[in-house]
Structure 1
C-alpha cells in the first residue's frame, strides 16, 4: 500500500467503506478519546458494531476524570467489539466483613472507611496487542507487546511478550515465537519506525520474516524502550 494513502493517526474514522464513507464503528483511539486518564499511542484502534457516543466510557466505564489510575495503551493495538477495561476505580474494599460501598450513596467522602484506600494501579497495554471480542481486562493488568488475547478472556496480572492468552481466568496458551526472536523483536521496536518505513516493510512485519526486519533496521539504533511492560 502506498504510504501516502495511509490515514494520519489523528484521523477519527480511518476505515473507508467501498462507497468512500468512513466506517463510524472503527476509530483511532487517540483521535476519538479526549480523557485525562487515557494515554494512547498512534494507530491503535477499537471497533464496535454499534458505535458509542463516548468511546472512553464505552471501553473503560469506571475510569473517571478524577480517577487516580491511568489506562495506557501503546501503538498499533487492535481492540475488538465488546472489550472492556475494568480499571482500578471499579474496585470495592474487601478486606473487612462487607464489600458494600456505603459512602458512594452518602456524600462520597474519600475518608469514609467503606471506600478502598488504594493502591490504584495503572492498566498498561504494550504495542501491537490484539484484544479479542468480549475480553475483559482487569485492574492493574499489564499486557506486554505482541500479546494476543482470546475472545471472551478475563485477563489480570502480567502477560509475557508475544504470548497468546485465553480463558477465564486467562492463562497462557503458547508463545508466538522463540525467546530469541521475541527479544530481537522488542529490540527492533518496529512500531517506533516512521509509518512510511513500516509500510515499506509490511510483508516482513506481517509475514514473520525476522531476517528481513533486521535488514530493514539497517543502521537504525536498536532500543528496548518500545516495550511498555
Structure 2
C-alpha cells in the first residue's frame, strides 16, 4: 500500500514535534509557503512566523516554494528592519511616537523598499542561516550553515559565508536548465512518490515505471496530468541532452 505524507499535517513526525510542515501553521497574509516545506526547531517550530520572520511590518512578502528544508536558527529579515540613512543619524525616531513621529513620518515612509523575499522550490537552508530583505533564492539552491545571504542566489547553486558567496554550481548550466524545465516539485504527489528514490538518490525506482516512449516528460496543462513518465529516462535525458521542454513535447 502506498502511504503519502499529508501536506496539511501540522506535525508530520508524530514523535518529533520539533519538525513541522509550515503551510498549516502560517496565518500572516504576507507569508506564503508551499506544500511539504518544513522547519526544524527544538524550541518551538510552530512559532516560525514570530521567531524566524523578523521585522515584517511592511507590505513586502516572504514567499517560500515547495519541498524546502529549513534548519533551526534560520532567520528571514524583512524590509521593516531598514533604517533611514539619508541624515546624520540612523536612529528610528519615528517608531517612538509623539512629535518624533509627526516630524519624521515622511522620512521613514520614503525609505526605498527592497521588495519581496522569494525562495524557490527544493531549497535547503543550513543551521543558523540569515536571509536579508528582498533577495531571490532559486530552485534547488543550498544555503550553507551560518551563511548571510545579501544578494540573489541562482538556481542549483551552493552559497556560504558572510556575505554569502558562490561555493559552486551543483550542475552544469545545460543540466540546470533541464532540471528547471522538469520542475519535479510541480508533479502530482503520486508521481513524486512513484519516483521518490530517483529524485532523492538519482537511482532507478524500485517500482517498475512505464518507459517514456518519447524520451521526455510530457505534461498536458489542460488536464493537469503527466503522461508517459519515467524519471530514470529523465536523468538519462539530462546527461544525453535529449530532454525537451515539456510544453513542446507532443
Q: Among 6, 9, 15, which residue is 1:8 paired with? A: 6
**Given the alignment, which residue of 50, 56, 61 partners 2:54?**
61
Q: What corresponds to 1:153 in structure 2?
A: 147
Aligned to 1:74: 65
Which residue is equivalent to 2:97? 106
Larger radius of gyration: 2
Q: Distance in 2 between matches of 1:8 and 1:79?
A: 18
Matches within 5 A, 1:110-189: 112-117=105-110, 118-189=112-183
* Structure 1: stretches of 5+ with no match in the other structure: 18-22, 225-229
Match of 2:224 in 1: none
Structure 2 CA distance for partners of 1:26 and 1:53, relative to 1, 3 Å: closer
Q: Provide closer, same or farther for how the CA distance between residues 31 and 176 of structure 1 changes in structure 2, counting only shifts above 3 A.
A: same
Q: Which runs of 4+ in 1 moved over 6 A?
A: none
Partner of residue 96 from structure 1, selected from 80, 83, 87 = 87
Structure 1 CA distance for aligned equivalents of residues 27 and 103 of structure 2:
26
Q: Which residue of 1 aligns with 2:219?
A: 220
Residue 157 of structure 1: CA displacement?
Answer: 1.4
Deviates more, 1:69-78 or 1:201-210: 201-210
Residues 223 and 29 from structure 1, CA distance in 2 versus in 1: closer, same or farther, beyond 3 angstroms?
farther
Structure 1 counterpart SS, 2:200: helix
Go from structure 1 to structure 2 and tell me whether the alpha carbon gap of 1:163 and 1:42 turns closer, same or farther (over 3 Å shift): same
Distance apart, 1:26 and its partner CA: 0.9
Query: For each residue in 1:10-37, what CA deviation from the matched residue of structure 2 results, as whole angstroms up to 9, or x when unmatched?
Result: 11111133xxxxx221111111111110
Equivalent residues of 1:99, 1:114 under 8 A apart = no
In the alignment, which residue of structure 2 is the partner of 1:196?
A: 190
Runs (5+) with no aligned partner, structure 2: 221-244
Alpha-carbon distance in structure 1 between the residues aligned to 2:190 and 2:46: 32
What's 1:20 paired with?
A: none
Q: Which residue of 1 aligns with 2:231?
A: none
3-state SS of 2:54 partner:
coil
- What is the RMSD computed on CA atoms of the aligned residues? 2.4
Q: CA deviation at 1:209?
A: 5.7
Q: CA deviation at 1:88?
A: 0.8
2:75 to 84, 88, 91: 84
Matched-pair contact (CA < 8 Å) for 1:12–1:29? yes
Equivalent-residue separation in structure 2 for 1:79 and 1:98 (angstroms): 36
TM-score by length of 1: 0.85
Q: How has the CA–CA distance of structure 1 residues 103 and 76 changed in structure 2, closer, same or farther, with 3 Å as cutoff?
A: same
More divergent stretch after superposition (44-53 vs 183-192): 44-53
